[in-house]
Structure formats: C-alpha cells, structure tokens
C-alpha cells in the first residue's frame, strides 16, 4: 500500500497536533452524506456534511450539520448575525473554497470563513467529516475542530 496523500484538511490537523482517523472509500463522483456513511460504515448520527452559504452582506459562512438533516436558513442567518443566508451555487464551490462538491471540508478552504457546527456534534467524542477529497472522510473530535476553525456550536437545522 502506498503512502497516504494528505489533503489540506489533514495538514491543518497535523500542524495543530490534532489526532484524526482517515477513512477512504470507493467513489468516482459526488455521493451524498448518507451514501458516504454507508460506504465507510460511519454512524449516521455522527456523520456531518459541510455547507457553504453567503449572507446578505456577501460574507461566506460554513455550516457543518448532520448528514440526514437540512439547514434552517433563518436559524443559520441568526447564528451568524445576518438578515438572511443562502446556499452558494454548485458551480461556485471550487472558486470559493478550493474544494469540489462532495469533497468540501470545513478545514483547509482557500480562506477561513466563520464556521458553525451543529450543536449535536458536541455529544460525540468524534465526528465524521469530509477529508477534503471525494472518497476520503476523517474522524475528528468536534471541540478540536471548533478550536482550529475558530467556530461555534449552534442549532441550525430544520425541525419538523
């Protein structure tokens, strides 16, 4: 087996001496978080997706939410002090973040944007997030993730 190719997300964790585990899975194209959890065997409730949004002020924000949930746009806007937020267009992901759809990690984007991690992550000793490349997930302690991205916990998911 060859040497693991590090992503920006992994290099940032290494630099900050934060332990993580790499889970690689076969995937030729974008698959959603539920399929990723299935492919890696990761518990769904501990698996999180990374969403990038833009506020009315034109500022970008990163939201890390459970894969089975949808973001509540009003709650997300409140959490970052904006009047409103909206998802960025898929075609803009790479230009804004440096990542491709399906490989977007809250760590190692072109710029560090204000980051909100859903409060449910705090209940776990580790969560599963994108490793910064399609086919790669990493596990990381959510408090350690927050410290590195200088983020905060908030409830930003839709409740039925």
Which pLDDT score is estimated for 28?
A: 60
Tens-level pLDDT at each residue, the chain (160 residues): 445 678 999 999 999 999 999 988 776 655 566 667 777 778 889 999 999 999 999 999 999 999 889 999 999 999 999 999 999 999 999 999 999 888 889 999 999 999 999 999 999 999 999 888 877 889 999 999 999 999 999 999 998 7
Please provide the DSSP assignment of 47-115 as one string.
BEEEEEEEETTS-EEEEEEETT--B-HHHHHHHTT-S-EEEPPGGGHHHHHS--TT---SSS-SS---E
Contact 7, 105 (CB under 8 A): yes
pLDDT for the residue numbered 1: 42
Report the distance separating Cα 134 and Cα 117, nearest Å.
Answer: 21
Asked whether 16 and 96 are in contact (CB, 8 A), the reply is no
pLDDT digits (tens, 9 = 90+) for 94-137: 999 999 888 889 999 999 999 999 999 999 999 999 888 877 88
pLDDT value at position 5? 76
pTM: 0.92
> What confidence score (pLDDT) does residue 44 get?
84
pLDDT of 86 reads: 97
């Amino acid at each position: 087996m060859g040497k693991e190719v590090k992503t920006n997300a992994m290099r940032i964790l290494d630099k900050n001496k934060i332990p993580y585990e790499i889970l690689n899975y076969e995937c030729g194209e974008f698959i959603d978080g539920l399929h990723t959890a299935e492919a890696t065997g990761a518990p769904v409730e501990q698996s999180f997706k990374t969403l990038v949004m833009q506020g009315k002020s034109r500022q970008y924000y990163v939201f890390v939410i459970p894969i089975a949930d949808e973001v509540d746009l009003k709650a997300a806007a409140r959490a970052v002090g904006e009047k409103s937020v909206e998802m960025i267009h898929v075609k803009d992901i790479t230009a804004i973040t440096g990542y491709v759809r399906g490989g977007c990690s809250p760590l190692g984007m072109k710029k560090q944007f204000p980051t909100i991690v859903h409060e449910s992550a705090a209940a776990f000793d580790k969560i599963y997030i994108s490793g910064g490349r399609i086919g790669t997930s990493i596990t990381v302690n959510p408090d350690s993730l927050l410290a590195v991205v200088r983020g905060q916990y908030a409830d930003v998911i839709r409740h039925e």
